[in-house]
Amino acid sequence: MEKKTVGLSGAFKGNTAPKSFTKSSIKGTKFTIAISSAKGGVGKSTFAMNFALALKSTGSKVGILDADIYGPSLPKMMSIKEKPKSEDGKSLIPINQYGAQCMSIGFLVDEETPMIWRGPMVTSAIKTFTQKVLWKDLDFIVIDMPPGTGDTQLTFAQEIKVDGVIIVSTPQEIALLDVKRGIKMFDKLKVPILGLVDNMSFFKSEEGKNYNIFGEGGVEKVANDYEKKFLGKIPINIDLRIAADSGKPLFEKNPDHEISKIFKNIANKIKESFL
């Protein structure tokens, strides 16, 4: 990086990686699993909800924390319209839906209100959600991370004991660049990477023809190149999108759907790695 940098101020060259931080688990939870993508729009939230519900179906107690302050998807995808209660005016009680404990900034503001916030406000919101929410007896908390490699990622990596991260991506080259940046970030911040998922892998038309709309095999190749586990492919599936839009994730709607089985399979793999 030094070599290539031209004409930027000294501040830009500073190493912003953490030196030493005290990391705590999120209270009321055993294991924290972050779902990340670096690039947005790869189906990360859809993955997070279905994965969490698949994890729950294995007999674990599961919570979902929507950490995407700028673009919360959980309220819509999980059909939650109520606001969380607070008994002492300081802590928040998560909302139970489909058997999972849920929290999102979207519970606290109107659906269409943009959070026009600079970084420190985002950090403050993340701290509230990890320190002031009364998660109860969870085996796993699944964190739906925002895209990027900024404030939210740094806050989690520096202050919270994240037990593992799953990186989701579509297979086109331009998305893979973001995957590589994500892998390097988590490696640098010493957050274990549980594996990579190839999402929107291909599209099968009614005539049975497969179209590699976003390219082919890219995520698996990156996993191999970086010596990370490859967790599987999820095809583009209209049922999956319709279920997300309808407020009931496909796994909840139809656990026997071929796509649900892929989620179950990934959930089993992840669960095994924590036993």
Candidates 22, 59, 110, 275; binder of its own copies (CB under 8 A) is 110
Candidates 99, 131, 137, 184; binder of its own copies (CB under 8 A) is 184
Give the nearest distance from C-beta 158 to its own copies in angstroms: 10
Give the residue from 245, 257, 256 showing the smallest Cα distance to 49: 245
* Closer residue to its own copies in complex, CB, 44/61: 44
The pairing of strands 95-97 and 100-104 is: antiparallel
Q: Which of the stretches 27-35, 137-145, 183-191, 266-274 binds its own copies when contact is defined by CB under 8 A? A: 183-191
Site map 6..45 versus its own copies, x via CB under 8 A: xxxx-xx---xx--------------------xxxxx--x
How far apart are the C-alpha atoms of 235 and 147, rounded to whole Å?
21
The amino acid present at 13, given as its one-letter code, is: K
* Closer residue to its own copies in complex, CB, 83/261: 83
Give the nearest distance from C-beta 14 to its own copies in angstroms: 8
- For its own copies, the binding residues in 38-57 under the rule CB under 8 A are 38-42, 45-46
Number of residues that bind its own copies (CB under 8 A): 89
Q: What is the dihedral of CA 229, 162, 49, 259, to 10 degrees?
A: 10
The amino acid present at 150, given as its one-letter code, is: G
* Closer residue to its own copies in complex, CB, 127/261: 127
* DSSP per-residue codes, 105-154: GGGTS-TT------HHHHHHHHHHHHHSB---SEEEEEEEPPSSSSHHHH
Candidates 21, 24, 86, 137; binder of its own copies (CB under 8 A) is 86
Give the nearest distance from C-beta 195 to its own copies in angstroms: 19
* Closer residue to its own copies in complex, CB, 59/114: 114
CB atoms within 10 A of CB 110: 6
Give the nearest distance from C-beta 113 to its own copies in angstroms: 6
- CB of 80 within 8 A of CB of 69? no
Give the nearest distance from C-beta 213 to its own copies in angstroms: 6
117 binds its own copies (CB under 8 A): yes
According to DSSP, the residues that pair with 251 across neighbouring strands are none
Rounded to 5 degrees, φ, ψ at 11 are -55, -35
Give the nearest distance from C-beta 28 to its own copies in angstroms: 16
The SS3 of residue 219 is helix
* Closer residue to its own copies in complex, CB, 58/115: 115
The amino acid present at 213, given as its one-letter code, is: I
Radius of gyration of the chain (CA): 19
- CB of 60 within 8 A of CB of 139? yes
- For its own copies, the binding residues in 198-257 under the rule CB under 8 A are 203, 205-207, 209, 211-215, 236, 238, 241, 244-245
How far apart are the C-alpha atoms of 52 and 32, rounded to whole Å?
12
Candidates 36, 149, 201, 260; binder of its own copies (CB under 8 A) is 149
